[in-house]
Amino acid sequence: MKLADKALLLLAIPLCLVVIFLWMLMRSVEEAQLDTAKEALQGKALVYVNLVVYDAMDAGVQFFLYRALRENRFATEFNETFSKLEEHRSALREIASRDTGEHGELTAFVKMVDDFDEMFMQAKEIIASGNGWGNVRTVANLRNYMKRVSLAGNTIVEKTMKEREQLLELHNLESHKMLDAIKIFAVLLVLIVVALALALNLTFQRTLNVLVENAQFIAMGKPLVKPLQGSGELVQLDKTIHYLSSALAQARSDERALIDYAAEIICSLDQQLRVTQVNPAVMKVLGVSDQDFLGTAIQSWVVDEDRDSTFASLEECKTKSAPAIFEARMKNAAGAAIDTAWNARWSDEKRSFFCIVHDISARKEAELLKQQVLTMVSHDLRSPLASVSVTLELLKEGVFGQLNDKGSSVVDKAQASISTLVNMINDLLEIERFEFGGGTLNLVRMPVRACAMQAIDMIASQAEKKGIEIECHCGSFETLFDPDRIQRVFVNLLGNSLKFAPEKSEIRISAELRQDETPGNAPWIEVRIQDQGPGIPIEKQALIFEKFKQSGRNDEAERSGSGLGLAICKAIVEAHGGTIGVDSTIGEGSAFWFRLRQQ
């Protein structure tokens, strides 16, 4: 049986018993109401029977007094009493019509009173005629009527009183029976509910104990109890727990495999920075087995010069509850230094550090080789190019003889090519300096507009050749920045717009403050350079700020560029702590923007 069915059964049985008892109770109440109504009717009948008897007796007495004393007041009282008798008799007649008695004594009494209407009318005529003695037969009949009414009335009263006493005794008996029935039913209902609850609890308890044990075994990684049999909800829950246990075991196995076969060192450290867990990758990186590495202090594997910074980074990770990313040199089993990159986090629950240590020796060697190549390019390539440039300048000036027009044209082209190559080398070196943290900024507080106007003056001749108008609406915003570097950003972005903007179009420079979403931070100064060029495809917009990447239009303007101008802009802006980007729509133009924090 399902859990819902069992719960429904537990509720349905007591509910059915309560319904049956209420039905019986309502029947008893209805019967009691009928008896009460009957008792009330009997009481009312007694009142009017007594009133009719008293009225008949009073009328007879008043009639006889009038005959004896012949005083008019007795005649008046007789008439009044007779009127009351008529009124009470009418009320008694109405009660008799509702009388459900087996013998109909009340109806017979009313009929007997009605039979003497003629006699009372004769009595009224005697009084009205002033004949005090009247008809002797009428007087005799009246006397006989008074006796019969009195006897019949007393009989009805006595019988009704006995019936009421019996009904009262019956009510008391029924009340006691009802109270006893309520008590018995309440006890029986409690016993049934307790018995059902105990039976249901015994059924559930065994199943719940199994579920609780299985949940605890999952947490401890132990095998689960044998699955329950059946089809109820708790059985289905037990099957789900078994499935969850299997899935967790598989996930743990997969996780362990990933850790074991990972190329990086994955380890955990206690609060004293001793290794508590480590994967086999430590053999590949440091040349020591994981068993020998366990229990050692991590400081003993870090070179002396980097121990303090490593300890400080781990402590900062612990206090700030944020991951720590840093580099440190470690010693391998042979004592050689290895460059490593760390990603560590602190767990308050486990009271441990969890670290991933990556060997970056190859990357460091590549960076060193790259620096050496850049140094070679800077010193061994720029110097010969400078010498060739000087020689070409001497040739052009006629030091070695006068050149004809064709010779001068060839020298001009060679000078332009060498100038382009030197600029490209300078741009590449500039980018690399900023990427490796070697670039220095000479920060000066000045308006952004002043820097923009200097850049406009530098490219004014190029703009005039294409008939392009450059407007500047930068306001008076001031902040700290390197004027030469930011001016180069302006020149590169304006030059880029000039190359692609159509002739006799407009380039607009604007600046405005933008509030940071994080409360308490200074606002940004956002500079936008809007052109009316062909636009940049959305899939290319994220690539154009990378070295040697362009928008992919492959037109003459794009082929004339080196692909380094926007990359230099990005390096300079990011060195200032800012951001750079572009908003562009094909056919409507592009808006290059960069943001500098207002300081």
Q: What is the pLDDT of residue 596?
A: 92
Last residue of a domain, one of 142, 160, 192: 192
Scan for tokens 């019956």, then name that residue.
Answer: 170
For 511, how many CA atoms within 13 A lie in the half-sphere containing its CB? 25
Clarify whether residues 355 and 370 are in a common domain.
no
Q: Which of 192, 222, 250 is the last residue before a domain boundary?
A: 192
Cα 268 to Cα 275: distance, rounded to the nearest angstrom:
6
* Residues 6+ positions from 563 with CB-CB distance below 8 Å: 547, 548, 549, 550
Do 381 and 509 have their domain in common? no
What are the pLDDT digits (tens) for 18-57? 777 777 777 777 776 776 777 677 777 777 777 777 777 7
Q: What is the pLDDT of residue 480?
A: 92
Q: Is the CB of residue 516 less than 8 Å from the CB of residue 523? A: yes
211 vs 237: CA distance, rounded Å: 8
Q: Are 592 and 528 in contact (CB under 8 A)?
A: yes
The two tokens of residue 318 are 């612990």
Based on the fold, state whether residues 108 and 155 are members of the same structural domain: yes
214, part of any domain: no
Residues 11 and 148 in one domain: yes
Q: What are the per-10-residue average pLDDT scores of the chain (599 residues)?
A: 60 72 73 71 75 77 76 81 81 75 65 69 70 56 68 70 70 73 77 73 68 70 70 70 69 54 81 90 88 90 91 87 88 89 89 90 78 67 74 78 80 76 72 68 91 91 90 89 91 89 91 76 89 87 76 50 78 90 89 90
For 416, how many CA atoms within 13 A lie in the half-sphere containing its CB?
7
With the CA atoms of 26, 27, 28 and 31 taken in that order, what torsion angle do they form, in degrees rounded to the nearest 10?
Answer: 120
Which amino acid, one-letter code, is at 527?
A: V
Q: CATH number of the domain that 273 lies in? A: 3.30.450.20
- Does residue 465 share a domain with residue 380? no
- Domain of residue 536, residue span: 444-597
Q: Are residues 339 and 394 in the same domain?
A: no
Query: Do residues 419 and 518 both lie within one domain?
Result: no
Helix (H) or strand (E) holding 470: strand 469-473
d(CA 82, CA 166): 35
pTM: 0.44
| 298: DSSP letter | G
247 in a structural domain: no
pLDDT of residue 303: 92
CATH number at residue 565: 3.30.565.10
Q: What is the CA radius of gyration of the chain?
A: 59
What is the spatial distance between Cα 6 and Cα 199, in angstroms, rounded to a whole number?
10
Supply 326's token pair: 């840093």
Number of domains in the chain: 4
Map 148-162 to HEC letters: HHHHHHHHHHHHHHH
Half-sphere exposure of 258 (CA within 13 A, CB side): 7
Q: What is the pLDDT of residues 207-258, one digit of tens each?
A: 767 777 777 776 666 777 777 666 666 667 777 777 777 766 665 555 555 4
Q: With contact defined as beta carbons under 8 Å apart, do 62 and 78 qualify?
A: yes
339 and 370 inside one domain: no
CATH number of the structural domain spanning residue 151: 1.20.1420
Burial of 169 (0-12, 13-18, 19+ CB in 10 A): exposed
